[in-house]
Amino acid sequence: MTSAFLSERGALEALHAEIGECRACELAGYLACARPVAGRQGPFNAGVMIIGQAPGRLTVARGQMFGGPSGGALERWLLRAGFAPGALRREVYLSALTRCDPGRSPAGKGDRKPTAAEVALCRPWLERELALVRPRVILLVGGMAIEAFLGPARLEDIVGRTFERDDATLIPMPHPSGVSRWLNDPAHAALVTRALERLSALRAAWEEARAEAPDEAGAR
């Protein structure tokens, strides 16, 4: 292991210690009680990062991103893209636009979406995390995560396509929660299949590169 590898790892642990102390949304009056989900959520040099909207109650209770039913759906998507069983928790780095549970929607239907102000307050944590993990592929799951990186777009116009950001490929995906009815349309399901095929091709390419140059690949 190189010293750069070890210092990046230490920096990521230190970042999560800072996140755990964050009370910015509580101090701004956006949350009654800020309780960030902190602690590294995947291997620090993961090739894939998944970014969602915000933690829900199960995620907070388990201290694990995508700790609810969405985690199972993501695992199935990764399997379809050729990842090994259990890859979601072993190989992929999990993150979100915000780190605290926004609570229930005032209308009583599902989780409240974090406001733009909350997302903006939390964005520096995410950017620092991205700079340390440096994933090759970023899966943006759900409309909010997509908009935060790519601007407003309809899912049907954007799922199945890829975008570049610095050294990473962005893959927009619908939110995997069973609440979304978007996935029930066969045409939409075909777009998800196309997105997973793109993820699979990227995974195969970097595994090939790692096999040919294991030292260079391992240094990331």
Binding site for ligand SF4 (CB under 6 A): 19, 22-26, 34, 36, 98-100, 118, 121-122
For the beta carbon of residue 163, count every other beta carbon within 10 angstroms: 15
State the DSSP H helix or E strand holding residue 94, giving kind and residue range, or none if neither.
Answer: strand 92-96
Please identify, using beta-carbon distances, which residue of 8 and 129 lies nearer to ligand SF4: 129
Q: Min. distance of Cβ 125 from ligand SF4 in angstroms?
A: 6
Burial 63-88 (b: 16+ CB within 10 A, else e): ebbbbbebbebbbebbeebebeeebb
Q: Min. distance of Cβ 22 from ligand SF4 in angstroms?
A: 3
Question: How far apart are alpha carbons 125 and 195 in whole angstroms?
Answer: 27
Burial 168-196 (b: 16+ CB within 10 A, else e): bbbbbbbbbbeebebbeeeebeebbeebb
Q: Min. distance of Cβ 28 from ligand SF4 in angstroms?
A: 8
Helix axes 186-212, 69-80, angle to 10 degrees: 60
Question: How far apart are alpha carbons 156 and 122 in whole angstroms?
Answer: 28
Please identify, using beta-carbon distances, which residue of 100 and 168 lies nearer to ligand SF4: 100
Q: Which two tokens stand for residue 38?
A: 């902190």
Q: Min. distance of Cβ 109 from ligand SF4 in angstroms?
A: 21
Please identify, using beta-carbon distances, which residue of 100 and 171 lies nearer to ligand SF4: 100
Query: Which one-letter DSSP state was computed for residue 18?
Result: H
Please identify, using beta-carbon distances, which residue of 25 and 155 lies nearer to ligand SF4: 25
Q: Min. distance of Cβ 135 from ligand SF4 in angstroms?
A: 20
Q: Min. distance of Cβ 219 from ligand SF4 in angstroms?
A: 31
Question: How far apart are alpha carbons 49 and 56 in whole angstroms?
Answer: 19
Please identify, using beta-carbon distances, which residue of 95 and 98 lies nearer to ligand SF4: 98
Please identify, using beta-carbon distances, which residue of 83 and 125 lies nearer to ligand SF4: 125
Phi, then psi, of 175 in degrees rounded to 5: -70, 135
